[in-house]
Amino acid sequence: MSDVDQICVIGSGTMGAQIGLVSALAGYRTHLIDLSQEQLDAAREMLTKRTNRDVEKGRRTQSEVDEAWSRLSFTADRDAALSEADFVIEAAVEDLGIKRELFADLDRLTPEHAILATNSSNIVSSRIADATSRPEKVCNMHFFNPALVMKCVEVVPHEATSKVTVDAAVTVAEAMGKSVVRLNREIPGFVANRLLNALRREALDLYDAGIASFEDIDTAAKTALGHPMGPFEIMDLVGIDVVHLIRLAEYEQTGAPEALPHPLIRELYEAGRFGRKSGRGWYDYGDEGAGVSPGAASSKG
Ligand SMILES: NC(=O)c1ccc[n+]([C@@H]2O[C@H](COP(=O)([O-])OP(=O)(O)OC[C@H]3O[C@@H](n4cnc5c(N)ncnc54)[C@H](O)[C@@H]3O)[C@@H](O)[C@H]2O)c1
């Protein structure tokens, strides 16, 4: 499989909508597929605002955007769209049962040559590939949020993924202007999130042991290591509930006790302090859920 012309993106939520536009901007005819027209309309509205702003700010030209829109369709008629797909990027809800069902459908509905990639952050593709009759054409292709902005895409084969599939996924990601991180074999969390988790774990342990305040640990990450945000700020941005869920998902896959959520994360989660989205996590964001006010939540947990 060398020539990819049509890409189908399954799921038009946070990730899928932006991946769809990235794909159309790269020149691929792209179908963005979701279960309901309402979800597709919301994705269209969000992307319209986004592209209008990009043109206003001079980040993209009007003709570049118009051409991308002409290549992008929003459809709930997935069977028709999938019948012409060369490459599928699945960005539906993070649920193993749903993904396995979806991949069995993709296997049935797409041409034989089509490659089936999942954008899952936590579910390695070996857990999905055997729901299809073409495991060698299944891999993880992991974008980062927001997909229109973040450059990294991790391409992760499972044991039976063919080299042709990996090469095709790398080619597509590079055509989308992404920097590819190729993993030689799958591991839960892949590379980037494992690095982030290692930093996060150490930051939580330092704070838990009373070595420094979480604000100062964030300051060290930013001003000594040059990170754009500190680990506690990132947890608040991602959502403490999401951080909690990701840890549980990794524990479910690995059974490793160290994968379980840190006790301090569990405390925040149980207190409903989910970060920016709830107005308070590590930091206090007031009513608007925006703007950091350091010190407002300086007691542990
Ligand atoms: N949110 C992130 O920061 C992030 C980052 C990288 C990867 N991911 C991965 O991307 C995937 C999607 O995450 P998200 O945050 O965009 O989720 P989301 O909940 O925002 O969107 C999921 C979309 O999939 C749709 N959907 C569900 N079942 C479907 C089906 N059977 N057919 C078609 N559409 C279906 C839903 O209607 C929804 O619009 C997950 O696997 C997640 O692990 C998420």
pLDDT band at 77 (very low <50, low <70, confident <90, very high): very high
**CA atoms of 211 and 141, how far apart (whole Å):** 38
Cα of 229 vs centre of ligand 1, distance in Å, is 25
> Mean of the per-residue pLDDT values for the chain?
93
Asked if residue 178 belongs to a domain, the reply is yes
Asked if residue 223 belongs to a domain, the reply is yes
Residues 149 and 37 reside in one and the same domain: yes
Mean pLDDT of the region 78-92: 97
Residues 175 and 198 reside in one and the same domain: no
Q: What confidence score (pLDDT) does residue 66 get?
A: 98
- Tens of pLDDT, residue by residue over 47-69, are 999 999 999 999 999 999 999 99
List, in sequence order, every residue forming a beta bridge with 75; answer none if it has no partner: 33
Atom of ligand 1 nearest to the CA of 118: 41
Asked if residue 42 belongs to a domain, the reply is yes
**CA atoms of 17 and 10, how far apart (whole Å):** 9
Please give the biggest Cα pair distance in the chain. Answer: 59
| Shortest-distance Cα residue to atom 39 of ligand 1 | 13
Mean pLDDT of the region 252-260: 87
Residues 104 and 56 reside in one and the same domain: yes
| Residue to substitute in 15, 39, 90 for testing ligand 1 pocket (most ligand atoms within 8 angstroms of CB) | 15
* More confident: 242 or 49: 49
Q: What confidence score (pLDDT) does residue 286 get?
A: 85
| 237 has a pLDDT exceeding 60 | yes
Asked if residue 285 belongs to a domain, the reply is no
Residues 166 and 244 reside in one and the same domain: no
| Residue to substitute in 93, 95, 124, 277 for testing ligand 1 pocket (most ligand atoms within 8 angstroms of CB) | 93
Asked if residue 255 belongs to a domain, the reply is yes
Residue that finishes a domain, picked among 120, 148, 182: 182
Q: What percent of the chain has pLDDT over 70?
A: 94
Determine the residue type at 63: S
- Tokens (6 digits) for 241: 């509930």
3-state secondary structure the chain: CCCCCEEEEECCCHHHHHHHHHHHHCCCEEEEECCCHHHHHHHHHHHHHHHHHHHHCCCCCHHHHHHHHHHEEEECCHHHHHCCCCEEEECCCCCHHHHHHHHHHHHHHCCCCCEEEECCCCCCCHHHHCCCCCHHHEEEEEECCCCCCCCEEEEEECCCCCHHHHHHHHHHHHHCCCEEEECCCCCCCCCHHHHHHHHHHHHHHHHHCCCCCHHHHHHHHHHCCCCCCCHHHHHHHHCHHHHHHHHHHHHHHHCCHHHCCCHHHHHHHHCCCCEHHHCECCCECCCCCCCCECCCCCCCC
Least confident of 10-14, 175-179, 289-293: 289-293
Residues with a catalytic annotation lie at 121, 142, 154, 193
Atom of ligand 1 nearest to the CA of 95: 41
| Shortest-distance Cα residue to atom 38 of ligand 1 | 13
- Tokens (6 digits) for 76: 């709930």
Cα of 146 vs centre of ligand 1, distance in Å, is 13
Domain total in the chain = 2
Q: What confidence score (pLDDT) does residue 294 get?
A: 37
Contact (Cβ atoms closer than 8 angstroms) between residue 13 and residue 145? no
pLDDT band at 243 (very low <50, low <70, confident <90, very high): very high
pTM for this prediction = 0.89
Other residues' Cβ atoms within 10 Å of the Cβ of residue 134: 19
| 280 has a pLDDT exceeding 80 | yes
Residues 221 and 121 reside in one and the same domain: no
| Residue to substitute in 14, 193, 234 for testing ligand 1 pocket (most ligand atoms within 8 angstroms of CB) | 14
Residues 174 and 68 reside in one and the same domain: yes
Residues 257 and 156 reside in one and the same domain: no
Residues 165 and 262 reside in one and the same domain: no
Residues 38 and 80 reside in one and the same domain: yes
Q: What confidence score (pLDDT) does residue 289 get?
A: 53
| 2 has a pLDDT exceeding 60 | no
Asked if residue 293 belongs to a domain, the reply is no
> What CATH number did the domain enclosing 160 receive?
3.40.50.720
Q: What percent of the chain has pLDDT over 90?
A: 86
Residue that finishes a domain, picked among 158, 182, 206: 182
Residue list, ligand 1 pocket, CB within 6 Å: 10-16, 33-35, 39, 91-94, 98, 102, 119-122, 143-145
| Shortest-distance Cα residue to atom 2 of ligand 1 | 145
Cα of 214 vs centre of ligand 1, distance in Å, is 31
pLDDT band at 295 (very low <50, low <70, confident <90, very high): very low
Contact (Cβ atoms closer than 8 angstroms) between residue 182 and residue 166? yes
Residues 65 and 210 reside in one and the same domain: no
Q: What confidence score (pLDDT) does residue 61 get?
A: 97
* More confident: 297 or 152: 152
Asked if residue 12 belongs to a domain, the reply is yes
> What CATH number did the domain enclosing 273 receive?
1.10.1040.10
pLDDT band at 254 (very low <50, low <70, confident <90, very high): confident
Asked if residue 196 belongs to a domain, the reply is yes
Q: What confidence score (pLDDT) does residue 292 get?
A: 44
Residue that finishes a domain, picked among 150, 182, 214: 182
| Shortest-distance Cα residue to atom 31 of ligand 1 | 102
Mean pLDDT of the region 263-278: 96
Residues 174 and 57 reside in one and the same domain: yes
Cα of 50 vs centre of ligand 1, distance in Å, is 19
Residues 56 and 139 reside in one and the same domain: yes
Range of the domain at 61: 6-182
Q: How far apart, in Å, are the Cα atoms of 95 and each of 76, 90, 106, 136, 226? A: 20, 12, 16, 22, 35
